[in-house]
Amino acid sequence: MRSQAIILGFVAVVIALVYEFFLKDILFIAIGIGRIIQPIEDFPYSCRKIYGSENILESCEDVWLDDEGRTLYAACVDLKSRHEWSPGGDKLNASGRTPNGHFVALNIDSPGPDGNYGASRLQITGDYLGPAGSRAIDPNGFDVEILPNNRLRFWMTNVRPPVDAVSGEYLDATKVGANGTVESFELIRGGDTLKWTGTFGANGGVVHSPNKVAADLNGGFVVTNDHSTPIGLRRSLDPLLGGGSLAHCTRSNDCKIAVDGLSFPNGLVRGLDGLFYVPSSMTGRIGVYSLSSTSLTKIDEIEVGMPIDNLSIDANGDIFAAAFPDPLKLIKEVKYVTGLPLPSTVWQIRKVSSERDGEGKGKGRGSVNYRVWKVLEDSEGKLLPTGTTTAAHDAKTGRIFLGGVLSEHMTVCEPIPIAR
Ligand SMILES: *[C@@H]1O[C@H](CO)[C@@H](O)[C@H](O)[C@H]1NC(C)=O
Ligand SMILES: *[C@@H]1O[C@H](CO)[C@@H](O)[C@H](O)[C@H]1NC(C)=O
Ligand SMILES: CC(=O)N[C@H]1CO[C@H](CO)[C@@H](O)[C@@H]1O
């Protein structure tokens, strides 16, 4: 009798633990049972789509806003190509890929007659070599570091089809996985060329499933591997076991895994406070890490409660997070490409440090708190890009620029002045 009660009690504890640490995340965060998704009209913004000429604003997965230079940079790819070649989403049909990955610059203070902010393509120069002798880039995420003398250093995750090092012929990506690297480029503010300056993480298998990169301002960077391996059985278990990681590379291309066992780490950023903010597209939480030489230590966690995509930082240091309120719909869209609109959400996160102690105690850092609030949501996917993957806030004007990996356009949302 007594042993039965103990076993029952034990089973109950196990169930409670599984629920607490696993099922709860899957049911209420990843699947989003019971989540209320609001229409875009609920928010004090007026939004419009921007297309640019010749589809150059298709599938802009990541953007970065140069507050001082008043320019928005976006990394974009042909949408049709993205549906065949998206290694992060297990799409490895290299023959369906077009070698048309590119960066676009938009002058955010000059909408121009067509409202496209003069969206124009940047040219890659220098000795960059893409797969099979081409100069094509396959951008995923990118970060920009401001250097002296009006120069910008771009760091870009490049996820190319694999080629044989000797013959230069394409290899079967479904067998060997994509070739993930991080590229660096330099741009002079106002210029239209990105001069290639180096490839990082190409050897050693540390940067194997790169998603997004964040400069460490020391000549190196931190990059998220969103999966445990580029292909294979272990990778298919990632939804259950985790397996994503954070890799750090130094300026001399010394790369190592700094943190392992994460659940789908995604579009990380370096905050103005020097800390690295790493969102998860599974758990709805953002891990906060501090970097010392080459090791990363987790010091905090921010609860958002919705699968999060990519983060951006505005000029005031606030974080803007693009999120998926209905992940199952998104997964369906990635798989079957129906072209149906998808809902998206944008969160704003502000670090609040109070002088007085008391709030947020028990975390060992007494005075740090995070305010998290929803700034935009589009339940019907009317105006925000399909599968909004990134949102950049212009702190000077309050506008929000959005890009989406599955979208034909970008979107700009202007705040509607509140009548008093
Ligand atoms: C790969 O892409 C090509 C070109 O779009 C297409 O014809 C082919 O059916 C695709 N293959 C697979 C396995 O989906
Ligand atoms: C990956 O890219 C690097 C850098 O361009 C190149 O040296 C290497 O041969 C490529 N490997 C594969 C398998 O494509
Ligand atoms: C730039 C970047 O990190 N993009 C990621 C944003 O989130 C989507 C969906 O999870 C990823 O597929 C992208 O790689």
Per-residue pLDDT reduced to its tens digit, 387-406: 888 999 999 999 999 999 88
Give the bridge partners for 146, in sequence order.
152
The least confident of 27-31, 40-44, 152-156, 360-364 is 360-364
Top-confidence residue, 115 or 30: 115
How many CA atoms lie within 13 Å of 84's alpha carbon, on the beta-carbon side?
A: 11
Q: Are strands 123-125 and 193-200 parallel, antiparallel or unpaired?
A: parallel
pLDDT value at residue 78: 93
| Residue 202 Cβ contacting ligand 2 at under 6 Å | yes
- Mutate which of 163, 200, 203, 209 for ligand 2? The one with the most ligand atoms within 8 Å of its CB, which is 163
Query: Atom 14 (ligand 2): residue with closest C-alpha?
Result: 162
Q: Whose CA is nearest to atom 3 of ligand 1?
A: 96
pLDDT at residue number 358: 46
Which residues are paired to 287 by β-bridges? 278, 301
Cβ(210)–Cβ(225) below 8 Å: yes
pLDDT of 221 strictly over 60? yes
Contact between 383 and 50 (Cβ < 8 Å) = no
Kindly state the average pLDDT of the residues 119-132.
94
Rounded distance between C-alpha atoms, residue 279 and residue 284, angstroms: 7
Instruction: Compare 367 and 66 and report the one with higher pLDDT.
Output: 66
Please, where are the H alpha helices in 308-390?
Answer: 327-336
The average pLDDT across 268-280 equals 96
pLDDT at 340: 80
* Order of strands across the sheet that contains 344-353: 308-313, 319-323, 344-353, 368-378
pLDDT at 18 over 70: no
Question: How much is the average pLDDT of 126-145?
Answer: 93
Average model confidence (pLDDT) for the chain?
Answer: 90
Place of tokens 């990996």: 405
The one-letter code for the residue type at 316 is N
Higher-pLDDT residue of 33 and 79 is: 79
- Tell me if 280 sits within 8 A of 288, measured CB to CB: no
Q: Quote the pLDDT of residue 203.
A: 81
| Ligand 2 atom 6 nearest Cα | 202
Report the 10 Å Cβ neighbour count for 389. Answer: 29
Single-letter code of the amino acid located at 194: L
Instruction: Provide, rounded to the nearest whole percent, the portion of the chain with pLDDT above 90.
Output: 71
Question: Which residue out of 79, 91, 144, 211 has the highest number of ligand 3 atoms within 8 Å of its CB and is therefore the one to mutate?
Answer: 211
| pLDDT tens, residue by residue, 148-174 | 999 999 999 999 999 998 888 999 999
Cα-to-centroid distance, 210 and ligand 3 (Å)? 10
CATH superfamily of 31-415: TolB, C-terminal domain (2.120.10.30)
Confidence of residue 113 (pLDDT cuts 50, 70, 90): very high
pLDDT at residue 270 is higher than 60: yes
Give me the half-sphere count of Cα atoms (radius 13 Å) on the Cβ side of residue 25: 19
Distance (Å, whole) CA 154 – CA 200: 13
Provide the pairing of β-strand 319-323 with 308-313. Answer: antiparallel
Say yes or no: CB of residue 281 within 6 Å of ligand 3.
Answer: yes
The model carries a pTM of: 0.90
Question: Given the CA of residue 93, which atom of ligand 1 is nearest to it?
Answer: 1
* Phi and psi at residue 417, to the nearest 5°: -60, 135
Average pLDDT on 234-257 reads: 93
Contact 271, 261 (CB under 8 A): no
Q: Determine which residue's CA is closest to atom 9 belonging to ligand 2.
A: 165
pLDDT at 15: 66
C-beta 163 within 6 A of ligand 2 = yes
Distance CA 29, CA 403 (A): 23
DSSP state of 109: T
Q: Is the pLDDT of residue 420 over 50?
A: yes
Q: How confident is the model at residue 168, as a pLDDT? A: 86
Cα(313) to centroid of ligand 3, in Å? Answer: 16
Q: Which residue has the tokens 């970097």?
A: 291
Taking the C-alpha atoms of residue 183 and residue 165, their distance in angstroms, rounded to an integer, is 18
Position 275 scores a pLDDT of 97
Average pLDDT over residues 272-298: 93
Contact 168, 87 (CB under 8 A): no
pLDDT(305) > 90: no
Q: Return the best residue to mutate from 179, 181, 206, 255 for the ligand 2 pocket (most ligand atoms within 8 A of CB).
A: 179
Q: Is the pLDDT of residue 25 over 50?
A: yes
pLDDT in tens, 73-112: 999 999 999 999 999 888 999 999 999 999 999 999 999 9
Find, among 260, 266, 188, 251, the residue nearest to 215 by Cα: 251
Give the model's confidence band at 116: pLDDT under 50 very low, under 70 low, under 90 confident, else very high: very high
pLDDT surpasses 50 at 324:
yes
pLDDT surpasses 60 at 359: no
State the Cα–Cα distance between residues 187 and 210, nearest whole angstrom: 23
In the chain, what's the furthest Cα-to-Cα distance?
82
